[in-house]
Amino acid sequence: MTVVIKSDNEIEKMRVAGRLASQVLDFIEPHVRAGITTEDLDSLCHDYMVNVQNTIPAPLNYAPPGYSPFPKSICTSVNHVICHGIPGPKKLKNGDSINIDITVIKDRYHGDTSRMFHVGEPKIQSRRLAELTFDCMWAGISQIKPGAHLGDIGAAIQKMAENAGFSVVREFCGHGIGATFHEDPQVLHYGRIGTGLKLVPGMIFTVEPMINVGKPDIRQLADGWTVVTKDHELSAQWEHTVLVTNTGFEVLTRSEGTPLPPDGLSFKV
């Protein structure tokens, strides 16, 4: 495992990229309404990134080994879709929940973040899942400080999710990020306290738990990208890109419209 420790200059570029990624979510939020297609959301975000921000949509044509190129500029994961949903012609309807995942490239550096949105009035279970997943993300982030371990992050997320009766998806995880979209380390959303890589200042990685109402089992669709819950139950995800600082952490993917942390926490420690 080779973890890239970021320089002060690289950290500043990551702050810029993170803020821009978050601003795309601010921009698209008013458009997440019944009747719009996820393809429309993709087009709006693409135009905003390319023509307003002068950023590059990182997912577009992204093709890690074994994958065909991702055909769109954002990921839109609706209801029982866990992650990597490809925008298409299906219209959103009242009661749907959707995760929109944004990654932009600015001056070679990546900003990666996602949020949950509700279409119209959410179902009680959908609202509870989205809120719990948000809290799980922050439970993990709150463990980040020099000398802590990656396992501390996963353990906090797993404990909160399972105590609430939900399950944690295990096949996908957070990741290091910088001039490369996906770097070491892998950040699991389950684990044991005191295990895994020890954290040091200058590390930057994502925390992005995927939490299911039902069982954690997954199924990949024939498009080679879209991942859904095997039992067709709801899934939710939130994501921030986080820097390990000398004293704790700093969330890099925040903007004016970013939901505030739970009570007692801040974006910087």
- Percent of the chain past pLDDT 90, that is, above it, reads 98
The whole model's pTM is what?
Answer: 0.97
pLDDT, tens digit (0-9, with 9 covering 90-100), for 216-239: 999 999 999 999 999 999 999 999
Q: Helix axis angle, 38-47 relative to 8-28, nearest 10°? A: 130
The predicted structure's pLDDT at residue 66: 87
Q: Mean pLDDT across the chain, nearest whole number?
A: 97
Q: Is the pLDDT of residue 69 over 90?
A: yes
pLDDT, tens digit (0-9, with 9 covering 90-100), for 177-231: 999 999 999 999 999 999 999 999 999 999 999 999 999 999 999 999 999 999 9
The predicted structure's pLDDT at residue 46: 98
Q: Under 8 Å CB-to-CB from 226, ≥6 apart: which residues?
A: 77, 81, 84, 85, 86, 220
Phi, psi angles (nearest 5°) of residue 248: 180, -115
The predicted structure's pLDDT at residue 50: 98
Asked whether the bond before 216 is cis by omega within 30 degrees of 0, the reply is no
The predicted structure's pLDDT at residue 143: 98
218 and 82 Cβ atoms separated by less than 8 Å: yes
The predicted structure's pLDDT at residue 20: 99
239 and 101 Cβ atoms separated by less than 8 Å: yes
CATH superfamily placement of domain 8-251? Creatinase/methionine aminopeptidase superfamily (3.90.230.10)
pLDDT, tens digit (0-9, with 9 covering 90-100), for 40-66: 999 999 999 999 999 999 999 999 998
The predicted structure's pLDDT at residue 135: 98
Q: Is the pLDDT of residue 103 over 90?
A: yes
Q: Is the pLDDT of residue 1 over 90?
A: no
